[in-house]
Amino acid sequence: MLTQAIGVPAHSLSVGESASNPIGFHDATPSFSWLLPASAKAQSAYHLETRSGEAHWDSGWVESDQSTFVPYEGEALSSRQQVEWRVNLRDENGCEGGWSSWARFELGLLSNQDWEARWIRPQQEVDMKREPVATLRHSFQISKPIEHARLYATAKGVFELHLNGKRVSVDHFANGFTSYRNRLDTLTYDVTGHLQPGSNTIVGLLGSGWYAGRLPFETTKIGPYGTDTGLLLQLEITYRDGSSQVVASGEQWEGTYEGPIVSSSLYDGEVYDARRQLTDWQPVAVEPDLGNARLTPKPFAPVRATETLSVQSISEPKPGSYVFDLGQNIVGWARIRVPVEQGETITIRFAEMLQADGTLYTANYRTAKSTDTYTAARSGVVDWEPHFTFHGFRYVKLSGRAATCARVFWARRIFPSRSTKRATQLSRRSYCSRRPIPRGSTPSIKGRPRCGNAGTATRMKTALVTRR
């Protein structure tokens, strides 16, 4: 039977839980979803096709109006496998839309047996109650052209990775909160463009997070799942000549707790002292096995900043103490760009409400300090934001010369959302605790010059998906 083509194919193809062309995908038996073209009122049939090397699966025409979570029925997929897929459809009149563009996904490491890496941490004895941040590093050589490279990582704690001085991703608080005794979510990064001929260095920052930090906030104890944090990392490089190389966390690495991030706590904030250099590098402590927890690719997107908010107004309730008002309550952290003197410490305090006299109301934080501090190594202008802490707040207090201009402060917003569209919808809602201020206003302090358009909010083109 001949069908008439409508010439407009399906679009917005996704795999699993709305993942678009993911790498490090978690499911060896995925499902597929797509959106119908505007010209189709309904779908009467679909036709799926996948290809991966020599493997090929063709569903043939299936009479169904289902266009979400359509199961894959081809051969079982395996770790690292790269798959392309596309879909054709017929509308309510039996007219074909034509084949969609190819979409793709790549499986992560699906089994503990895929890991050559071992858990590592600095071997120095430190007071883990202050929630110190470890720095781990390793250098390696590349001597021939690279086809592609994948970096697989997870942590007992939270981590941030850098390769040759550049941050590997925009993820925050990776790998997120999970049932650490039972499973650990792993993340996969395409680092092909980060590598270079010759010497390469990978650096990992490792914080306590939910694993070894203070949790829940009512307690003063740390380590609900353990007190020794750990990083697990495996870099797999495929060369153009078909050979490969694995760079894995293990005995060859070195680590230290001596660095500028003195401590970083989810509840208490971050202490950063730029005067502290990375010193006292020593061979790492290595765990002999991976443990009992199942290592599995993260099934949802990691935490990412979704918006940068500017200050809406500034007040000075006490001489030399400035309160910045964002105009809405958010979850995130503060970014500052301020002039500093050598040895000066900037204290950043957060609150969701104000007292009647305009000072911060923090009683609802209970035992959480919710305070970030930055100490300058030299005089000049510093641009800084914390690594492993976030706060719920509308108001931010800075003391002294750091708060003399509205442009010195921004806030990063994070919140749970399943898509960029959903993130946009949520960000347009106001969670003001008092006196909402028009977004377009340009505040100034009485007797001080205005400092640019403090009412703008620059959207970051990423969405946050977080799993509890």
What DSSP line would sit under 245-256, residue for residue?
EEEESSTT-EEE
pLDDT score at 338: 87
For the chain, what is the total number of helices (H) and then of strands (E)?
A: 2, 33
| Cα 440 to Cα 312: distance, rounded to the nearest angstrom | 8
Q: Does the pTM exceed 0.95? A: no
Within-domain flag for 2:
no
Residue that finishes a domain, picked among 260, 279, 297? 297
* Same domain as 326, residue 246: no
pLDDT value at 145 more than 50: yes
pLDDT winner (highest mean) among 159-168, 212-221, 335-344, 400-409: 159-168
Residue that finishes a domain, picked among 265, 297, 329? 297
| Cα 372 to Cα 263: distance, rounded to the nearest angstrom | 10
pLDDT value at 434 more than 50: no
Number of domains present in the structure of the chain: 3
Within-domain flag for 468:
no
Structure tokens at 446: 């009485």
pLDDT score at 223: 83
pLDDT value at 413 more than 80: no
- Residue 156: which CATH number? 2.60.120.260
User: pLDDT for 192-202, tens place per residue?
Assistant: 999 999 999 99
User: pLDDT for 97-114, tens place per residue?
Assistant: 999 999 999 999 999 999
* Same domain as 117, residue 103: no
User: pLDDT for 337-357, tens place per residue?
Assistant: 888 899 999 999 999 999 999
Beta strand 345-351 with 254-256: parallel, antiparallel or unpaired? Answer: unpaired
* Same domain as 167, residue 235: yes
Q: Which one has a higher pLDDT value, 2 or 11? A: 11
Which residues, 6 or more positions from 198, have their beta carbon under 8 angstroms from its beta carbon? 141, 142, 143
User: pLDDT for 249-308, tens place per residue?
Assistant: 999 999 999 999 999 999 999 999 999 999 999 999 999 999 999 999 999 888 988 888
Within-domain flag for 268:
yes
Within-domain flag for 302:
no
Question: Coil, strand or helix: which one is 112?
Answer: helix
Residue that finishes a domain, picked among 47, 74, 107? 107
Within-domain flag for 466:
no
* Same domain as 184, residue 248: yes
* CB half-sphere exposure, 393, CA atoms < 13 A: 34
pLDDT band at 412 (very low <50, low <70, confident <90, very high): confident
* Same domain as 446, residue 358: yes
Least confident span in 87-91, 213-217, 277-281, 439-443: 439-443
pLDDT score at 432: 28
Within-domain flag for 6:
no
- Local structure of residue 406 (DSSP, 8 states): G
- Residue 87: which CATH number? 2.60.40.10
* Same domain as 128, residue 90: no
* Same domain as 158, residue 98: no
What are the residues facing 262 on neighbouring strands?
none
Least confident span in 69-73, 249-253, 359-363, 434-438: 434-438
- Local structure of residue 172 (DSSP, 8 states): B
* Same domain as 154, residue 15: no
Looking at residue 165, its amino acid is G
Section 208-213 average pLDDT: 94
Beta strand 183-190 with 294-297: parallel, antiparallel or unpaired? Answer: parallel
pLDDT value at 449 more than 80: no
pLDDT band at 7 (very low <50, low <70, confident <90, very high): confident
pLDDT score at 222: 81
* Same domain as 453, residue 385: yes
**Are the C-beta atoms of 213 and 156 separated by less than 8 Å?**
no
Distances (CA, A) of 319 to 29, 87, 398, 405, 448: 63, 65, 12, 15, 14
Cα angle value 272/331/24 (rounded, 5°):
85
Which residues, 6 or more positions from 252, have their beta carbon under 8 angstroms from its beta carbon? 138
**Are the C-beta atoms of 67 and 33 separated by less than 8 Å?**
yes
| Cα 73 to Cα 87: distance, rounded to the nearest angstrom | 14
- Region of 418 please: left (phi>0), alpha (psi -120 to 50) or beta: alpha
Structure tokens at 202: 């990978």
Task: Domain of residue 324: give its range.
Answer: 307-459
pLDDT value at 150 more than 80: yes
Tokens 């897929």: give the residue. 85
Of 292, 107, 289, 78, which is closest to residue 184 (Cα–Cα)?
Answer: 292
| Cα 335 to Cα 259: distance, rounded to the nearest angstrom | 20
Task: Tell me the percentage of the chain whose pLDDT exceeds 70.
Answer: 84
| Cα 336 to Cα 328: distance, rounded to the nearest angstrom | 18
Within-domain flag for 381:
yes
* Same domain as 404, residue 384: yes
pLDDT score at 5: 57
Mean residue pLDDT across the chain: 85
Within-domain flag for 204:
yes
pLDDT score at 323: 92
* Same domain as 291, residue 162: yes
User: pLDDT for 312-342, tens place per residue?
Assistant: 998 989 887 889 999 999 999 999 888 889 9
| Cα 125 to Cα 332: distance, rounded to the nearest angstrom | 32
* Same domain as 233, residue 348: no
